[in-house]
Amino acid sequence: MQISLNCEMNFRLIPAFFLVLFAGCSKPSEKIVVATAANVQYVMKEIKQEFEKESGKKIEIVVASSGKLTTQIREGAPFDVFVSADTKYPDEIFKNGGSDQKPKVYATGTLVLWSRNIPESDLKPEILTTEKVKKIAIPNPQTAPYGQAAIQALKSLNLYIQTEKKLVYGESIAQTAQYITTGSVEAGFNALSIVLSPEMKDKGHYILIDSTLYQPIQQAAILLKHSKDSPKKATSEQFYNFLYSGKAKAIFHKYGYKSNFE
């Protein structure tokens, strides 16, 4: 199963990649690139369709963990908007001069425990300590906010010490989903938006993790800095504003996000 072909791009290859990608496009200078956290990838597919239909302009989506995308932005990747899985990374970009505008929260995410074969009636955090579960997938907490939330939840439940040696780290939430749905692990933590996506719906069983067990997963986007005469500046601003529109809000709700804007 393939979740994203663009998840793990090496930032050293990005400039060459985009030169090839945009070759032959009708108006390459106006096509914007949106760096997207893996938990938002399916949402962004629908938002992309709505935006392109409404505006007549094209966007390209690049998917990876928020931490890896931030590293790529630091190294000069040609992204125009960054849709993160948290607020920390966009704040860091703003403080380091990567944007003229402070980032804004667009939604709050929800953490789930997910398994391919364990039925919902048995799928409780406590089962992770039993012999039924030999491996537990979580996104890398060093780069993925949902991985940080999973560790917080395990510690809040006093299960971390008993499960630490079972943890298998995915490079992103997308890779973690692959581990779970292919049965490489017995259970794992992921985003509600992933299990609700058409691509993942009905692939196994899941339960919501009590939101009081981890810090709220507030997710922010940031409009990256452009030169004043950049032909992509207006399109980037238009798309950034679209993320906070009523149409986008409805799509976020569809995937289980709680909106933080009207």
Host domain of residue 252: 11-108+216-259
119 with 85, same domain?
Answer: no
What's the CA gap between 191 and 78, in Å, rounded?
A: 27
pLDDT at 220 over 70: yes
What's the CA gap between 10 and 70, in Å, rounded?
A: 12
Q: Is residue 133, in this structure, part of any structural domain at all? A: yes
Q: Is residue 5, in this structure, part of any structural domain at all? A: no
**pLDDT tens digit sequence for 26-60:** 444 578 999 999 999 999 999 999 999 999 999 99
- Pair 31, 59: CB distance under 8 Å: yes
Instruction: Work out the pLDDT band at 224, boundaries 50, 70, 90.
Output: very high
Average pLDDT over residues 173-202: 95
3-class SS of residue 32: strand
136 with 81, same domain?
Answer: no
In angstroms, how far apart are the furthest CA atoms of the chain?
A: 61
Give pTM, 2 decimals.
0.82
DSSP state of 193: H
Q: Is residue 2, in this structure, part of any structural domain at all? A: no
Average pLDDT over residues 99-110: 95
Q: Is residue 4, in this structure, part of any structural domain at all? A: no
3-class SS of residue 2: coil
Q: Is residue 138, in this structure, part of any structural domain at all? A: yes
124 with 67, same domain?
Answer: no
What's the CA gap between 102 and 118, in Å, rounded?
A: 43
From residue 102, give the alpha-carbon distance in Å to each of 127, 207, 221, 222, 244.
42, 34, 9, 7, 14
139 with 172, same domain?
Answer: yes
Q: Looking at residue 85, what is its pLDDT? A: 92
Q: Looking at residue 20, what is its pLDDT? A: 41
Stronger pLDDT, 152 or 20, i.e. the higher one: 152
60 with 180, same domain?
Answer: no
221 with 95, same domain?
Answer: yes
Q: Is residue 3, in this structure, part of any structural domain at all? A: no
CATH number for 157: 3.40.190.10
164 with 182, same domain?
Answer: yes
190 with 240, same domain?
Answer: no
203 with 228, same domain?
Answer: no
Q: Is residue 130, in this structure, part of any structural domain at all? A: yes
Domain boundary among 181, 197, 213: 213
Q: Is residue 152, in this structure, part of any structural domain at all? A: yes
192 with 182, same domain?
Answer: yes
Q: Looking at residue 229, what is its pLDDT? A: 63
Q: Is 179 exposed, middle or buried (0-12, 13-18, 19+ CB in 10 A)?
A: buried
224 with 151, same domain?
Answer: no
pLDDT at 136 over 60: yes
Q: Looking at residue 228, what is its pLDDT? A: 62
104 with 114, same domain?
Answer: no
pLDDT at 15 over 70: no
How many domains does the chain divide into?
A: 2
